[in-house]
Each structure stands twice: as structure tokens, then as C-alpha cells.
Amino acid sequence: MYFTRKLTYDDAGNLFRITSNPEVTKYLGFRTHRVIDDARELIAAYAKANGYWFGVFDGLPWAERLVGVAGYEKQGHSIACALYFSPLARGAGRRFAAPWVRELFFQNSDIKRIWAHCHVDNVQVQRVMERMGAVREGRMAKYAVFPNTSEEPQDCYLYAITS
């Protein structure tokens, strides 16, 4: 059972356990966290972001365990979304993402498209996207920087689900 809520500074230690793992951050847009203050800064950035970012928790509110982070930004008739999970929560991405995407469509009748991108070498995320019904629409050359991989912009695949 997953539930979501806004991250607070009290979550910094649990977030740091996820974001200090190079396996998790390899294909993310920020550097692997070295100290807990990095996680606190990320929580502050999420709070100021132009969109909605929240923690994904496994369990019940009184016995919660942070397993990942999800977020989205509404852009006219579409939603750009992103998420990442702890390696200890194998399969959580697919189990959480598919219902979450359906919920975004149901809550927003004006939304016609939900999309995300991922690094061309990130096979695990590609599988999650395809299992939740997203269609690979193409390869975008030099689309995003993944600082734990390279300072140069990298190629990405674009995935989308449309209504």
C-alpha cells in the first residue's frame, strides 16, 4: 500500500538514504548526495518548484517508510512527470506509477497527455514506462544532463500516455 505526502525536513534522513545511492542517482538530474544537508536542500527545492513534488511511502501513516519521490508539472493540456525509487523497493515504480498516472487523468479532465523522458541506457525505467502503458515516441538527441553520468547533454527516450 502506497501513500503520498509532501516531504518535510524530518524526511531528510530517509531521503538521504535514497539519494546518496549512486545506483539511484545515476540517471537523475542532480548529483549523488554526499551529506544530509544535500537532501534538505532538495526538499527545499521541491517545495519551491513549479509543480507538485511529494514522497512516496510504503506502509501505513503510523509505520511509514519512504520508498521514493514523485512529482509532476502541468503544462497546458499535458503533465510532465518524474519519479525515482529506492533499490530496496524493487517493483514499486511500476506498482505505484500505473495507478498514479490513471489518477492524474481522472482528476484532470483537461489533461490529454502525460509524458516523461529517460536516459537511453536506463533500461529499468524504460521497462516501467512500457509496463504502465506508455508509448516510446522517439529519441531526443542531447536532451538532458545527467551529472552523475556526464556533464554533456545525453540522449533520452520520450514516453507518453495519451487519453
Query: Per residue in 38-56, pLDDT tens?
Result: 999 999 999 998 889 999 9
More confident residue, 23 or 104: 23
Find the mean pLDDT for residues 77-85.
91
Work out the pLDDT band at 139, boundaries 50, 70, 90: very high
CATH 3.60.40.10 fits 2-162, yes or no: no
pLDDT at 65 over 80: yes
pLDDT of residue 96: 82
Work out the pLDDT band at 121, boundaries 50, 70, 90: very high
Work out the pLDDT band at 61, boundaries 50, 70, 90: low
pLDDT at 60 over 70: no
Find the mean pLDDT for residues 11-29.
95
Find the mean pLDDT for residues 122-151.
94
pLDDT of residue 4: 87
In this structure, the strands spanning 154-162 and 135-144 are antiparallel
pLDDT of residue 107: 80
20: number of Cβ within 10 Å? 16
**DSSP of 50-100, one letter per residue?**
SSEEEEEEES-GGG-EEEEEEEEEEETTEEEEEEEE-GGGTTHHHHHHHHH
* All residues at 6 or more sequence positions from 103 whose CB lies less than 8 Å from its CB, including other chains: none
Q: Where exactly are the structural domains of the chain?
A: 2-162
